[in-house]
Amino acid sequence: MNDASPHSRHVRHVLVLPDRDAAEEVAEALTERFRLAEEPQLVRDALAGEDDAEDAQWLVVVEDPDAVHDPEQLHDLAAEHEGWREAE
């Protein structure tokens, strides 16, 4: 017998921020506001064809194994720092 709920699903939220400082601020705010079980992962995402560090976006990856975090709230937090949440 499977104990997993048929409605539960693991979600990975990806927030896109304009620079590392913004990504670090969002990661800290996420940990405080959403009481995450694990810290968000920060990933540098260079834009295609660009070698300059100034042309990089930063991703904040939030694992949401029980799909409990509201995507709109995550989007709003990213937007406060000139970013957005990637749609699934």
Domain boundary assignment for the chain:
11-85
- Does the reported pTM lie above 0.75? yes
Q: How far apart are CA 51 and CA 41, in angstroms?
A: 22
Closest alpha carbon to 30 in 47, 46, 17 = 17
pLDDT at 53: 55
pLDDT at 1: 40
| pLDDT at 2 exceeding the cut of 50 | no
Task: Report, in this order, helix, strand and coil percent for the chain, each rounded to 5.
Answer: 30, 25, 40
Query: In this structure, which amino acid lies at residue 4?
Result: A
For 26-80, how does the pLDDT look when each residue is reduced to its tens digit (9 = 90+)?
A: 999 999 998 887 889 999 987 655 555 566 899 999 999 888 999 999 999 999 9
Closest alpha carbon to 60 in 84, 37, 40, 46 = 40
* Domain 11-85, architecture per CATH: 2-Layer Sandwich (3.30)
